[in-house]
């Protein structure tokens, strides 16, 4: 069994809307092992970024319950000064939008140097400069000596994302959280950045939590996948199993929504409806039931739980046993008649 | 940087020409002239016309403008009709007084605005913020001249802590320490009164900038690096929030000019604002035009100063 690096137990992150708290991450448990890439997939608004921010303690106005054990220390219960010793050092984070994630008034050297400075108080200025230069070269920035003294607005999106990655890996973290690292970039740059993260992963042998909604990214990068819907994990499996034998209706719908050139398709599959907003989220029963209305009520559990159906393959709710796509049923009926 | 400043300065020249024409024409449009009400009713109107003709007041405006401008370019702002001395001499000491009053007001404005703005922005929507915001609303709603009168009445007359007119006590020798302290003492109350009222815009500006910057993505990046809350505020939020304040700096000067016209008259402080009002009531055109022109130049210089300051503090604006 692989070593646990991060263990999330019953994590609930709730936001206050008017007078009530609404959970964006609802009673979620998850483990990340050493040297693995765990992808968290889901639609916009399913709570995947809220989860990442909870791990980093970046929420300023949220109520966080449950435990987040990182190397057996509970970071969810840490004071901010204790947490500041962990973030940026043991846990690094790569952000979604490289265009807005760098301080516009600081030169690149100062921005990367700050991470080093905060966690290595006795590092000399020249040593720091050298390390920044090293990092910039490592993330594949050409003319690093020159870029060091540039400001963010002078760099392209891809270059800025490389700078952010350099910042995240500056102190060789054991865990890297990448919150949609390629969403804001165009396709050619996306693959470059993914290659870079892959390369760094091998070099640093750290665990990576990769948050994305892009199944292509998942297939390319992940070892294990957790599918999130409405604040809950609905399915966890290793990446091969998930693509070969998806079980939960939501996972299957997601995979079915990817355009496929092998298959003759008239219409792209679309999941009905939208992710319910926090206030309108049904807190009881199967949360996905509203979006597969053709599946009989009785198929769902009253209190759906995440169960291990095969070793390492977890699925929530029993509805997966009775699920099929409406056009498939029609075709079957066709054949029958 | 230099290229930018030079180009920005060159743009000022047409602005100044347009400004001077406007001022000149507007002054001409005012009813009456320096002779009206000055001479006895028994003087023959024909004689007055002769004088006007002699002075060139009946020439078309552009001829008058050209001769006036010729003088201005040589540093000659003309002769004051009422004070019978050159306008430059008249303005000399007053411009100095006004300058120091403005400097004192600016310093006080920022001394009040920066701590209050930071507190208000950092702890937004708490009682502290509401208290400060409440003050800015009062500042916004209170007319400066009424507030100044109240201040003068309380601290000048009732409590007697501050002098109620003038810019220096009589009998002191310029250059001595006592002279300097007396100057400072005289400008303190007007400066405080003006700063307390005009600071509201800077507080509000700073507060909104901080509230805005707090939610920017790069603040998350800073927190994710492990930067402490103090460091996040000082290094990341404050630096970015002060940019618009720096940009605003030059325009404060324009605001100060407007304010000083009230303040100097109320506090009997011999500065440019007081001179401007006097010259209007006395129809002293040469003085009026000269003071207005100086105010105009100060405003344009303020805008220039804003642009240059902003280009120094914000790397994105540096024009290559």
A1-90+171-337 folds as: Rossmann fold (3.40.50)
pLDDT value at position B320? 43
Residue of A87, A105, A119 lying closest to B239 (CB–CB)? A105
Q: How far apart are CA B225 and CA B218, in angstroms?
A: 11
Q: In this predicted structure, what is the pLDDT of residue A177?
A: 92
Whether B232 maps to a domain, the answer reads: yes
Query: Has residue B154 been placed in a domain?
Result: yes
- Rounded to an integer, what distance in angstroms lies between the CA atom of residue B131 and that of residue A317? 53
- The per-residue pLDDT for A280 is 78
Residues B100, B64: one domain? no
Q: Find the helix or strand (DSSP H, E) in which A212 lies.
A: strand A207-212
Place of tokens 């270059």: A159
Interchain contact, B218 vs A104, CB within 8 Å: yes
Q: Kindly determine whether residue A101 and residue B217, on different chains, have CB atoms separated by under 8 Å.
A: yes
* For A149, nearest residue in chain B (alpha carbons): B315
Q: How confident is the model at residue B53 (pLDDT cuts 50, 70, 90)?
A: confident
Q: Using CB atoms, which residue from A87, A89, A102 is nearest to B218?
A: A102
B108 with B66, same domain: the answer is: no
Give per-residue pLDDT as tens, A108-125: 999 999 999 999 988 899
DSSP A289: G
Residue B79 lies inside a defined structural domain of this protein = no
| Mean pLDDT, residues B136-163 taken together | 88
pLDDT of A138 above 60: yes
Tell me chain A's radius of gyration from C-alpha atoms: 22
Q: What is the DSSP string of A97-133?
A: -TTTSS-TTS-HHHHHHHHHHHH-TT--HHHHHHHHH
Q: Pick the more confident residue, A223 or B251.
A: A223
Q: Could you tell me the CA-to-CA distances from B288 to A7, A21, B23, B101, B250 in Å, in that order?
A: 78, 65, 9, 21, 24
The span from the CA of A73 to the CA of A68, in Å, is 8
Residue B96 included in any domain: yes
Q: How does the average pLDDT of chain A come out, rounded?
A: 86
Give the pLDDT confidence of A255-275 residue by residue, as tens digits: 888 877 766 666 777 787 777
Q: Are residues B64 and B102 in the same domain?
A: no
Match 């009926």 to its residue by tokens.
A333
B110 and B36 in a common domain: no
Q: Is residue B87 part of a domain?
A: no
Percent of chain A with pLDDT over 70: 94
User: Are residues B287 and B197 part of one domain?
Assistant: yes
Same domain, B65 and B153: no
With CA atoms as reference, report the closest residue to B117 among B1, B38, B223, B212.
B212
**Residues B54 and B118 occupy one common structural domain:** no
Q: Checking phi first, is residue A168 left (phi over 0); if not, alpha (psi -120 to 50) or beta?
A: alpha
Give mean pLDDT, residues B215-233: 90
Do B228 and B284 lie in one domain? The reply is yes
Q: What is the Cα–Cα distance from A153 to A106, expressed in whole angstroms? A: 10
Q: Pick the residue with more confidence: A179 or B3?
A: A179
Min Cα–Cα distance to chain A from B200, Å: 27
Interface of A with B in 178-197 (CB under 8 A): none
Say whether B226 and A104 touch across the interface (CB within 8 A).
no
B228–A58 C-beta distance less than 8 A: no
The pTM of this model reads 0.79
| Nearest chain B CA: its distance from A8 CA (Å) | 19
pLDDT at A240: 92
Q: Quick one: average pLDDT of B116-120?
A: 92
CB contact under 8 A, A118 and B224: no
Please compute the mean of the pLDDT values over residues A29-50 and round it to a whole number: 88
Q: Which residues of A touch B224 (CB under 8 A)?
A: 56, 58, 87-88, 92-93, 95, 168
Same domain, B62 and B119: no
**Residue finishing a domain among B43, B73, B103:** B73
For the four alpha carbons of A13, A15, A21 and A24, in that order, the dihedral sign comes to: negative
Mark yes or no for CB contact A87/B224 under 8 Å. yes
Give the per-residue pLDDT at A38.
93
Looking at the predicted structure, is the pLDDT value of residue A1 above 60? no
What is the reported pLDDT for B312? 77
Q: For an interface test with A, give the residue of B123, B125, B223 to mutate (most A CBs within 10 A).
A: B223
Say whether both B61 and B101 belong to one domain: no
Token pair 């690292």 in the structure block, residue: A181
Q: Which of A5, A88, A66, A40 is nearest to A226 (CA)?
A: A40
On the question of pLDDT at A331 being above 60, the answer is no
Range of the domain at B220: 92-313
Q: How far apart are CA A212 and CA A40, in angstroms?
A: 6
Confirm whether B259 is domain-assigned: yes
Q: pLDDT: is B155 or A1 the higher one?
A: B155
> Count of CB contacts below 8 A, A vs B?
76
Best CA proximity match to B262, nearest among B198, B194, B197: B194
Mean pLDDT of B167-189: 81
> Taking 60 as the threshold, does the pLDDT of residue A332 lie above it?
no
Measured between beta carbons, the chain B residues lying within 8 angstroms of A101 are: 217-218, 220-221
**B78 lies in some domain:** no
Rg of the Cα trace of chain B? 24
Give the closest residue to B112 by CA, choosing from B212, B230, B191, B229.
Answer: B191
Comparing CB atoms, the residue among B228, B236, B243 nearest residue A81 is: B228
Range with top average pLDDT, A22-31, A177-186, A319-328, B130-139:
B130-139
pLDDT digits (tens, 9 = 90+) for A318-327: 887 878 777 6
Interchain contact, B218 vs A81, CB within 8 Å = no
Residue B85 lies in a domain: no
Q: Give the pLDDT score at B81.
A: 73
Whole-angstrom distance, CA of residue A209 vs CA of residue B236: 27
Domain boundaries, chain A: 1-90+171-337, 104-170
Contact status, residue A180 vs residue A213, Cβ threshold 8 Å = yes
Q: What is the number of domains present in chain B?
A: 2
pLDDT band, very low/low/confident/very high, at B130 (cuts 50, 70, 90): very high
SS (H, E, C) chain B: CHHHHHHHHHHHHHHHHHHHHHHHHHHHHCCCCCCCCCCCCCCCHHHHHHHHHHHCCCCCHHHHHHHHHHHHHCCCCCECCCCCCEHHHHHHHHHHHHHHHHHHHHHHHHHHHHHHHHHHHHCCCCHHHHHHHHHHHHHHHCCHHHHHHHHHHHHHHHCCCCCCCCCCCCCCCCCCHHHHHHHHHHHHHHHHHHHHHHHHHHHHHHHHHHHHHHCCHHHHHHHHCCCCHHHHHHHHHHHHHHHHHHHHHHHHHHHHHHHHHHHHHHCCCCCHHHHHHHHHHCCCHHHHHHHHHHHHHHHHHHHHHHHHHHHHHCCCCCCC
Whether A105 and chain B come into contact, CB under 8 Å, resolves to yes
Residue A337's pLDDT band, with cuts at 50, 70 and 90, is very low
* pLDDT value of position B207: 92
Tell whether B62 and B191 lie within a shared domain: no
ipTM of the complex: 0.84
pLDDT of A147 reads 92
Range A307-319 average pLDDT: 85
Do B229 and B107 belong together in one domain?
yes
Give per-residue pLDDT as tens, A195-209: 888 888 888 878 899
């Amino acid at each position: 069994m692989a070593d646990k690096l991060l263990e999330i137990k019953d994590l609930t992150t709730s936001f206050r809307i008017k007078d009530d708290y609404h959970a964006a991450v609802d009673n979620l448990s998850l483990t990340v092992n050493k040297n693995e890439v765990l992808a968290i997939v889901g639609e916009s608004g399913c709570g995947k970024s809220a989860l990442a921010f909870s791990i980093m303690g970046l929420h300023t106005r949220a109520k966080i319950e449950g435990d987040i054990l990182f190397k057996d220390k509970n970071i969810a219960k840490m004071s901010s000064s204790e947490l500041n010793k962990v973030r940026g050092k043991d846990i690094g984070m790569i952000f979604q939008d490289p265009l807005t994630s760098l301080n516009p008034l600081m030169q690149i050297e100062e921005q990367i140097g700050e991470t080093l400075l905060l966690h290595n108080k006795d590092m000399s200025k020249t040593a720091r400069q050298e390390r920044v230069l090293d990092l910039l070269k490592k993330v594949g920035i050409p003319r690093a000596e020159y870029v060091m003294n540039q400001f963010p607005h002078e760099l392209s999106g891809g270059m800025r994302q490389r700078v952010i990655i350099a910042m995240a890996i500056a102190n060789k973290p054991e865990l890297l959280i990448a919150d949609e690292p390629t969403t804001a970039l165009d396709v050619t740059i996306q693959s470059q950045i993914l290659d870079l993260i892959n390369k760094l992963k091998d070099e640093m042998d750290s665990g990576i939590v990769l948050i994305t909604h892009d199944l292509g990214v998942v297939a390319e990068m992940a070892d294990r996948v957790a599918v999130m819907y409405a604040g809950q994990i609905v399915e966890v499996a290793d990446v091969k199993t998930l693509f070969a034998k998806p079980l939960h209706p939501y996972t299957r719908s997601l995979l079915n929504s990817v355009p496929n050139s092998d298959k003759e398709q008239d219409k792209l599959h679309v999941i009905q409806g939208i992710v319910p907003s926090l206030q309108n989220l049904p807190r009881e029963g199967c949360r996905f039931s509203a979006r597969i209305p053709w599946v009989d009520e009785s198929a769902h559990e009253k209190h759906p739980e995440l169960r291990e159906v095969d070793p390492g393959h977890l699925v929530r709710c029993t509805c997966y046993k009775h699920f099929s796509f409406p056009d498939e049923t029609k075709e079957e009926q066709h054949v029958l008649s | 940087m230099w290229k930018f400043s030079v180009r920005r300065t060159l743009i000022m020249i047409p602005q100044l020409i347009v400004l001077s024409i406007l001022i000149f024409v507007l002054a001409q449009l005012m009813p009456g002239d320096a002779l009206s009400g000055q001479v006895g009713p028994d003087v023959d109107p024909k004689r007055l016309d002769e004088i006007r003709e002699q002075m060139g007041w009946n020439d078309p405006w552009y001829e008058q403008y050209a001769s006036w401008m010729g003088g201005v370019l040589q540093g000659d702002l003309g002769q004051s009709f009422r004070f019978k001395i050159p306008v430059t001499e008249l303005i000399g000491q007053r411009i100095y007084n006004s300058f120091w009053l403005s400097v004192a007001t600016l310093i006080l404005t920022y001394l009040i605005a920066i701590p209050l703005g930071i507190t208000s922005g950092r702890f937004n929507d708490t009682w502290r913020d509401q208290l400060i915001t409440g003050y800015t609303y009062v500042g916004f709603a209170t007319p400066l001249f009424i507030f100044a009168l109240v201040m003068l009445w309380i601290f000048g007359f009732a409590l007697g802590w501050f002098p109620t007119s003038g810019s220096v006590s009589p009998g002191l020798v310029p250059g001595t320490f006592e002279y300097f302290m007396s100057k400072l003492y005289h400008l303190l109350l007007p400066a405080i009164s003006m700063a307390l009222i005009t600071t509201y815009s800077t507080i509000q500006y700073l507060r909104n900038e901080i509230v805005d910057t707090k939610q920017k993505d790069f603040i998350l990046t800073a927190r994710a690096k492990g930067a402490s809350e103090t460091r996040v505020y000082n290094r990341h939020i404050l630096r970015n929030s002060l940019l618009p304040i720096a940009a605003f700096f030059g325009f404060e000067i324009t605001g100060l000019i407007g304010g000083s016209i009230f303040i100097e008259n109320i506090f009997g402080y011999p500065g440019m604002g007081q001179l401007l009002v006097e010259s209007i009531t006395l129809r002293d055109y040469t003085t009026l035009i000269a003071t207005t022109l100086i105010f105009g130049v100060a405003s344009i210089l303020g805008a220039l100063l804003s642009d240059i300051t902003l280009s120094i503090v914000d790397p994105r604006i540096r024009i290559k």
